[in-house]
């Protein structure tokens, strides 16, 4: 009989503080540098872009930071989120590994992104801000921020990477439904956008370009702030609610992860789940392996350099100490739009540099194959970003089988793929044409039709 194991917290068990890993890092991150003076940035330098409460969090060394009650309330729309045991996947992979996943896809925008969108909207609201600009890749972040700002009467303007704007029209509709306004980037609305279009009118865009555009609008309009969905320290901080909940749920399961795995775009998806576990490596000598999984076509962690670089394409952000492919890098148009970013946040970069976390890269085809296997095993359809983590989980489960070791694996099921079905269609077409080319008689599309009960 199929065993379904889901570990639910009640609302009273939801964490009331976020965890700031900066307090426990053996080597602190190097300071951000002012793009003009190249001197360490001062809190005041950021006030044109962010409300003071977020700047304080960005620079805080406090280990635990209170989650405002208003934010806790809005979290309850979808939190606490469940942890599932993936028994069917284990059986299909014939692995002794125990596989768990934290299901962040249950939020209304369908991903983990509201975990930081809600507090960011809240702190802006508290400071009287009425307009926020941001960028989005696949649209997960833009829809999450539109969702969150709509609760506070804040207008949200989203620069959406053009290739995703065209590939994912329904993410755009979601943003509009939540009162967000959406512009394909590069656009003619900003100097940054116009410069890119002058050079390449067909530019597919990139997160770096979209960030430049959003920052430019915020910096040149007094009533407008800017919001970022990953990379920055305060974003990592807010996302730790994922791992803090998961820690309690793994305890309910009577288990503790040997491996924690998350997709990697700018770091908050991975960090949100892993930092609360990594904490015990740093403070108690635990040896949990934390693995960040990036897209092979955008390999800043596995092939980039650790150096100061801009967070955006036009060079308007502070210089960030990061693993980077260079801020002018324009990644190929893969479906996992959320992983198409040239750099990694300062905290995850320092942790990687210090050998405290690991990184792996996964190519698009492997990620979709893994997603299909997972969807047929567990019934949940992964977002293309999430699929990268699943591919690594499957690799690790196979290693566990070869070694005969019952490792415990926990990964971040960071979002669902219901808005990405066109990407699955394309994957199936690829598989079919490859099968046809190889003169296979059976179809990979149906080879999993076997009872799993």
Q: What residue ranges bind a copy of itself (CB under 8 A)?
A: 1-6, 8, 10-11, 69-70, 73-74, 76-77, 84, 88, 106, 108, 110, 125, 147, 150-153, 155, 169-170, 173-174, 176-179, 372, 375-376, 378-381, 418-419, 421-422, 424-425, 428, 445-446, 448-453
Residues whose CB falls within 8 Å of the CB of residue 43, separated by 6 or more in sequence, listed in order: 52, 55, 56, 59
Comparison of 252 and 405: residue with beta carbon closer to a copy of itself = 252
By C-beta, is 291 or 381 nearer to a copy of itself?
A: 381
- Least distance from a copy of itself to the Cβ atom of residue 261, Å: 21
Query: Of the two residues 10 and 441, which places its CB atom closer to a copy of itself in the complex?
Result: 10
As a whole number of angstroms, the distance between CA 204 and CA 70 comes to: 39
Report the chain's terminal Cα–Cα distance, integer Å: 5
Cβ at position 417, least distance to a copy of itself in Å: 9
Nearer to a copy of itself, 22 or 167 (CB): 167
Q: Are 448 and 92 in contact (CB under 8 A)?
A: yes
Nearer to a copy of itself, 28 or 434 (CB): 434
In eight-state DSSP terms, residue 448 is: T
In the bound state with a copy of itself, the residue whose beta carbon lies nearer, of 355 and 451, is 451
CB of 148 to a copy of itself, least distance (A): 9
Measure the CA–CA gap between 196 and 162, rounded to whole angstroms. 12
Residue 107 beta carbon to a copy of itself: minimum distance, rounded to whole angstroms: 9
The least CB distance from residue 7 to a copy of itself, in Å, is 10
**Residue with Cβ nearer a copy of itself (34 or 376):** 376
**Cβ(99)–Cβ(86) below 8 Å:** yes
Residue 286 CB, shortest distance to a copy of itself, in Å, is: 30
Least distance CB 349 / a copy of itself (angstroms): 34
Contact (Cβ atoms closer than 8 angstroms) between residue 274 and residue 243: yes
Nearest in space to 75 (alpha carbons), one of 132, 18, 131: 18
Q: How many CB atoms lie within 10 A of CB 80?
A: 23
Task: Kindly state the tokens that stand for 319.
Answer: 């210089």
Contact 360, 291 (CB under 8 A): yes
Residue 112: exposure state from Cβ atoms within 10 A (0-12, 13-18, ≥19): buried
- Residue 194 CB burial class (10 angstroms; 0-12, 13-18, ≥19): middle
Contact between 414 and 274 (Cβ < 8 Å): no
Q: Which CB, 151 or 256, lies closer to a copy of itself?
A: 151
The residue written with tokens 């967000």 in the block is 180
Residue 319 backbone phi and psi in degrees, to 5: -75, 130
Q: Which is nearer to a copy of itself, 206 or 227 (CB)?
A: 227
Nearest by Cα to 32 from 226, 218, 311, 264: 311
Query: C-alpha distances in angstroms, 131 versus 44, 127, 157, 242?
Result: 20, 11, 8, 28
| Nearest-approach distance from CB 190 to a copy of itself, in angstroms | 22
Structure tokens at 25: 């890092």
Smallest separation (angstroms) from a copy of itself to the CB of 421:
4
Smallest gap from Cβ 151 to a copy of itself, in A, equals 6
Between 152 and 341, name the residue whose CB sits nearer to a copy of itself. Answer: 152
**Look-up: residue for tokens 């439904």?**
177
90 backbone dihedrals φ, ψ, rounded to 5°: -55, -45
């Amino acid at each position: 009989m199929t065993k379904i194991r889901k570990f639910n917290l009640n609302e009273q068990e939801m964490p009331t503080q976020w965890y700031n890993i900066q307090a426990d890092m053996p080597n602190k991150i190097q300071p951000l540098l002012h793009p003009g003076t190249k001197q360490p940035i001062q809190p005041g330098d950021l006030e044109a872009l962010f409300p003071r409460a977020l700047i304080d969090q960005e620079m805080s060394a406090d280990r635990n930071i209170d989650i405002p009650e208003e934010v806790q309330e809005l979290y309850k729309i979808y939190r606490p989120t469940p942890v599932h045991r993936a028994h069917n996947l284990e059986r299909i992979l014939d692995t002794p590994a125990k596989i768990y996943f934290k299901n962040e896809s249950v939020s209304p925008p369908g991903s983990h992104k509201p975990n930081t969108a809600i507090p960011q909207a809240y702190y802006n609201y508290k400071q009287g801000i009425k307009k926020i600009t941001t960028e989005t890749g696949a649209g997960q972040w833009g829809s999450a921020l539109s969702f969150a700002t709509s609760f506070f009467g804040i207008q949200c303007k989203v620069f959406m990477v053009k290739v995703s704007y065209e590939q994912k029209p329904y993410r755009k509709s979601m943003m509009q439904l939540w009162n967000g306004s959406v512009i394909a980037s590069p656009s003619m609305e900003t100097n940054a956008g116009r410069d890119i279009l002058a050079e390449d009118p067909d530019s597919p865009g990139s997160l770096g370009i979209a960030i430049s555009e959003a920052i430019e609008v915020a910096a040149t309009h007094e009533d407008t702030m800017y919001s970022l969905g990953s990379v920055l320290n305060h974003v990592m901080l807010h996302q730790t609610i994922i791992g803090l909940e998961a820690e309690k749920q793994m305890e309910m399961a009577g288990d503790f992860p040997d491996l924690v795995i998350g997709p990697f775009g700018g770091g908050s998806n991975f960090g949100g789940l892993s930092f609360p576990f990594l904490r015990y490596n740093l403070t108690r000598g635990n040896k949990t392996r934390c693995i960040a999984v990036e897209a092979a076509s955008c390999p800043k962690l596995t092939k980039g350099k650790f150096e100061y670089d801009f967070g955006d394409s036009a060079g308007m952000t502070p210089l960030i100490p990061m693993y980077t492919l260079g801020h002018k890098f324009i990644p190929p148009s893969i479906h996992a739009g959320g992983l198409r970013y040239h750099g990694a946040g300062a905290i995850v970069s320092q942790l990687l540099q210090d050998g405290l976390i690991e990184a792996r890269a996964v190519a698009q085809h492997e990620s979709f194959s893994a997603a299909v296997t997972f969807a047929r095993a567990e019934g949940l359809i992964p977002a293309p970003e999430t699929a990268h983590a699943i591919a690594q989980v499957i690799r690790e489960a196979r290693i566990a089988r070869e070694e005969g070791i019952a490792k415990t694996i926990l990964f971040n099921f960071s979002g669902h793929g219901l808005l990405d079905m066109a990407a699955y269609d394309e994957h199936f077409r690829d598989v079919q044409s490859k099968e046809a080319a190889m003169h296979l008689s059976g179809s990979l599309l149906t080879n999993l039709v076997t009872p799993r009960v």
